[in-house]
Chain A
Amino acid sequence: MSSIKIELRPEDVAKIKEICASFNNDPQELINVLHKCQEHFGYLPAEVQEVVSGELKVPVAKIYGVVTFYSFFTMTPKGKHPISICMGTACYVRGAEKVLDEFKKELGLQVGQTTGDGKFSLSSLRCVGACGLAPVVLVGDKTYGRVAPDDVKNILKEYE
């Protein structure tokens, strides 16, 4: 599983239990539970999954299976400013790949990685539905439209 070992604080464990209880510890609510946990922790480390497993009475292997199946769930912490490049078809034909390459070059990251200082993480996603603005880049909640590779440096500068 995840290479990051973390120690959950008692209040973290309590929070997970509270989330599970709010869904009546129903195993069929697993995905909703995981959504809430990720909202709280920012990611879903193995330790969190273990607690969920105990509460919902679902084997941790099954939970791991679900977490890794869905692209929305992640087991590595995202950066303070998560950068997502839309690789939907509309963005792709308007040059999203070159924008992504530029981010990779500037940050020295591959997709799915986070910078050493935890500041930026890089991911690609499939269509945010803002195809009129293609290619689209998201930094946190902020959307940048019609991004050209030349804009990348300036976007990053905003977060320095």
Chain B
Amino acid sequence: MQILVCGGTGCRDLESEAILESLKLEVEANALENDIQVVRTGCFGLCSLGPIVKIMPDDVVYFKVKHGDAREIVEEHVIKGKKVERLLLKDPVNNKSLVSSAEMNGFKKQLRIVLRNCGVIDPENIEESIAHNGYEALGKVLTEMTPDDTIKVIKDSGLRGRGGGGFPTGIKWEIARKNKADQKYVVCNADEGDPGAFMDRSVLEGDPHAVLEAMAICGYCIEADKGLIYIRAEYPLAVARLKTAISQAREYGLLGKNIMGTGFSFDIEIRYGAGAFVCGEETALIHSMEGLRGEPTVKPPFPAEAGFRGKPTNVNNVETFACVSPIILKGADWFAGIGTARSKGTKVFALAGKINNVGLIEVPMGTTLRDVIFEIGGGIRNGKKFKAAQTGGPSGGCLTEKHLDTPIDFDNLIAAGSMMGSGGLIVMDEDDCMVSVAKFFLDFTVEESCGKCSPCRIGNKRLHELLDHITKGKGTLADLDRLRNMSLVIKDTSLCGLGQSSPNPVLSTLDNFRDEYVAHVTAKKCPAGKCRDLMEYFIIAENCVGCTACARVCPVNAITGQRKEPHVINPSICIKCGACKEKCKFDAIIVQ
């Protein structure tokens, strides 16, 4: 029997390591260590319900476990075979306990290819990876297939880059193969910069060998013997697990010289990012690896022609690499049979925001947004109304109610004014102001623009200023047209993907929520009640007992009135800090 404890970042922050230790102690205390393995795994994808403990082969999942629960889990479940009811997830409809992961709605519509081993194996033990078909695809490729055969399989599978662009992976490999050079490189882009996205991190933390194996396969195909993983320094756990994985793979002869005795050599090094969103762009990433500012350059030349140190370089994202081995083992037809006409396979999404089940999910391409949010994601928090889902991060756009039944794939998202991006999916409810959301993303872009080309450097700054004006009630209707025109110019004239997509949040909110923009500029009201400068605080005279609590807490003395008589707020002094509203025990203060 195995006790699996989630060691993903979310659960670790809730002290899952302590639970792991307590479970081990309990197992030892009962002298069960020969029969029961306590294993730290990667992310299960149920981050909002963490820390997670799963008992195999019973397939029972316990939620929100504390380290004090360890004894009960071992004594009741492991020894007596009785489930610990209070730690089971309850069905929201009939309140019945849900035991296995198969019973949970969150898992029913999922299909795990990329996340096949996350939450299943111990990522720090290569033998567990090998037991789950790790490096089998590499063996098959090296002994039974030519590089051209392999590239053909990847091409036929229809795999497209998962980092955002959606470029066909097989064609990318083919181009890199055709460019002859004495040295070529395989680069894994693990610089996951989209705020609210943690897919790549979870794969690297939960199944690092999947990425190493695929990089080696790519190296074989394009005739490179060197791989580089460019990873954010902000992901210490992923870095540590990658390092462990690389050294174990070397030890087992799966990386390094003469892999599996076939004469093929391939080794992998880690390069650190230092916090620059633009480095997700492949040319910028390559410059950063060369010790320079991460500024993009004009393509062509593409990295496949002249990349790292001027040599042909193939750059793929973590999730793309994680798809490779299953395709090799199960065949191109299998992968091409999943998904939609032009988007094959599955996509991992990081669900976050105002949704009940925050976490990591993987669904076949073509799943509808409704299924993702209401079936898998468990709907909107606190029973609020769904307003929008943001995909593609700062480069993407908002999907609204009318898009709920659109099958999610690369092309449909672009048609809806958004993009796949790397897979962050942030859900917003009726309380979110879409103008503020657009401003939030522009704030991000302005900070992250590298400054090399002026449309992006200056244009985004101007867009941000206009949005700022609008949220402060200083905007006009003409500003809305100005926003649109400027957005289109920035998209057309920017050098790299960052600038070409940065106005998307503005355009998509303008298209889908024009009424909200109009309310900000004409009525000077924020319908969602988010924009502080457009709010006004009032005291309802009937409810006010004149306790003076509000007047005493007001930092600017905007509230006046006699004791035991209704007070008044002077709007010209009020700074809208909300301190009075918090203090009032009689619900006499309202915001409009």
Chain A interface (Cβ < 8 Å from any Cβ of B): 26-32, 34-35, 58, 65-66, 69-73, 87-94, 125-134, 136, 143, 145
Q: How far is the CA of A132 from the CA of B13 in the complex (A)?
A: 10
Q: How many residues of B contact A (CB 8 A)?
A: 53
| Known A89-B390, A127-B198, A145-B14: A132·B50 in contact at CB below 8 Å | yes
**Shortest distance in angstroms between B121's beta carbon and chain A's nearest beta carbon?**
20
User: Which residues of B272-311 are within 8 A (CB) of A?
Assistant: 272-277, 288-294, 309
B292 close to A126 (CB less than 8 A):
no
Chain B interface (Cβ < 8 Å from any Cβ of A): 9-10, 13-14, 47-50, 192-198, 201-202, 233-235, 271-277, 288-294, 309, 350, 352-354, 358-359, 390, 393, 424, 426, 428, 432, 437, 440-441, 444, 447, 450
| A34 to B, closest residue via Cβ | B274
B274 close to A126 (CB less than 8 A):
no
**Shortest distance in angstroms between A86's beta carbon and chain B's nearest beta carbon?**
8
B235 close to A129 (CB less than 8 A):
yes
B444 close to A126 (CB less than 8 A):
yes
Residues of A contacting B233 in the complex (Cβ-Cβ under 8 angstroms): 35, 72
Q: How far is the CA of A71 from the CA of B201 in the complex (A)?
A: 19
Residues of B contacting A30 in the complex (Cβ-Cβ under 8 angstroms): 291-292
| B277 to A, closest residue via Cβ | A126
Q: How far is the CA of A69 from the CA of B289 in the complex (A)?
A: 14
A129 close to B198 (CB less than 8 A):
yes
Q: How far is the CA of A89 from the CA of B388 in the complex (A)?
A: 13
Residues of B contacting A132 in the complex (Cβ-Cβ under 8 angstroms): 10, 47-50, 352, 358-359
Most chain B C-beta atoms within 10 Å of own C-beta, residue among A28, A30, A31, A66: A31
Q: How far is the CA of A125 from the CA of B234 in the complex (A)?
A: 10
Residues of A contacting B359 in the complex (Cβ-Cβ under 8 angstroms): 132
B197 close to A71 (CB less than 8 A):
no
**Shortest distance in angstroms between B142's beta carbon and chain A's nearest beta carbon?**
31
Q: How far is the CA of A91 from the CA of B440 in the complex (A)?
A: 12
Q: How far is the CA of A110 from the CA of B580 in the complex (A)?
A: 24
A87 close to B274 (CB less than 8 A):
no
Task: Identify 21 residue pairs between A and B in the complex whose beta-carbon atoms are under 8 Å apart, listed by A's number.
Answer: A28-B290, A28-B291, A30-B292, A31-B272, A31-B289, A31-B291, A32-B291, A66-B293, A73-B274, A73-B275, A88-B195, A89-B441, A90-B353, A93-B428, A125-B234, A127-B195, A127-B196, A131-B352, A132-B10, A132-B358, A145-B14
7 closest cross-chain pairs (CB), A and B: A132-B47, A90-B352, A30-B291, A88-B195, A70-B274, A129-B198, A89-B196
Residues of A contacting B353 in the complex (Cβ-Cβ under 8 angstroms): 89-90, 93-94, 134
Q: How far is the CA of A26 from the CA of B289 in the complex (A)?
A: 12
A70 close to B276 (CB less than 8 A):
yes
Q: How far is the CA of A134 from the CA of B273 in the complex (A)?
A: 24
Residues of B contacting A134 in the complex (Cβ-Cβ under 8 angstroms): 352-353, 358
| B291 to A, closest residue via Cβ | A30
| B196 to A, closest residue via Cβ | A89
B277 close to A89 (CB less than 8 A):
no
B288 close to A127 (CB less than 8 A):
no
Residues of A contacting B48 in the complex (Cβ-Cβ under 8 angstroms): 132
A66 close to B292 (CB less than 8 A):
yes
Residues of B contacting A70 in the complex (Cβ-Cβ under 8 angstroms): 273-276, 294
Residues of A contacting B235 in the complex (Cβ-Cβ under 8 angstroms): 129
Residues of B contacting A90 in the complex (Cβ-Cβ under 8 angstroms): 195-196, 352-353, 358, 426
A89 close to B293 (CB less than 8 A):
no
| Known A94-B353, A132-B359: A71·B275 in contact at CB below 8 Å | yes
A133 close to B275 (CB less than 8 A):
no
Residues of B contacting A125 in the complex (Cβ-Cβ under 8 angstroms): 234
Q: How far is the CA of A26 from the CA of B358 in the complex (A)?
A: 44
| Known A29-B291, A87-B195, A88-B196: A72·B275 in contact at CB below 8 Å | yes
| A101 to B, closest residue via Cβ | B577
A130 close to B275 (CB less than 8 A):
no
**Shortest distance in angstroms between B539's beta carbon and chain A's nearest beta carbon?**
22
**Shortest distance in angstroms between A22's beta carbon and chain B's nearest beta carbon?**
15
Q: How far is the CA of A93 from the CA of B447 in the complex (A)?
A: 19
Residues of A contacting B202 in the complex (Cβ-Cβ under 8 angstroms): 129
Identify A128's interface contact among B49, B194, B234, CB under 8 A: B234
Q: How far is the CA of A71 from the CA of B437 in the complex (A)?
A: 22
Q: How far is the CA of A26 from the CA of B198 in the complex (A)?
A: 33
B291 close to A126 (CB less than 8 A):
no
Residues of A contacting B426 in the complex (Cβ-Cβ under 8 angstroms): 89-90, 93
B9 close to A65 (CB less than 8 A):
no
Most chain A C-beta atoms within 10 Å of own C-beta, residue among B288, B292, B450: B292
**Shortest distance in angstroms between A136's beta carbon and chain B's nearest beta carbon?**
8
A131 close to B358 (CB less than 8 A):
yes
Residues of A contacting B14 in the complex (Cβ-Cβ under 8 angstroms): 133, 145
New A-B pairs, 13, CB < 8 Å, besides A35-B233, A69-B450: A28-B309, A31-B274, A35-B274, A71-B447, A89-B194, A89-B393, A89-B441, A93-B354, A126-B193, A130-B13, A131-B10, A131-B352, A132-B49
Q: How far is the CA of A129 from the CA of B236 in the complex (A)?
A: 12
Residues of A contacting B197 in the complex (Cβ-Cβ under 8 angstroms): 127, 129
Q: How far is the CA of A69 from the CA of B14 in the complex (A)?
A: 33
| Known A65-B293, A132-B358: A71·B195 in contact at CB below 8 Å | no
B293 close to A131 (CB less than 8 A):
no
**Shortest distance in angstroms between B526's beta carbon and chain A's nearest beta carbon?**
14
B390 close to A69 (CB less than 8 A):
no
Residues of A contacting B352 in the complex (Cβ-Cβ under 8 angstroms): 89-90, 131-132, 134
Residues of A contacting B294 in the complex (Cβ-Cβ under 8 angstroms): 69-70
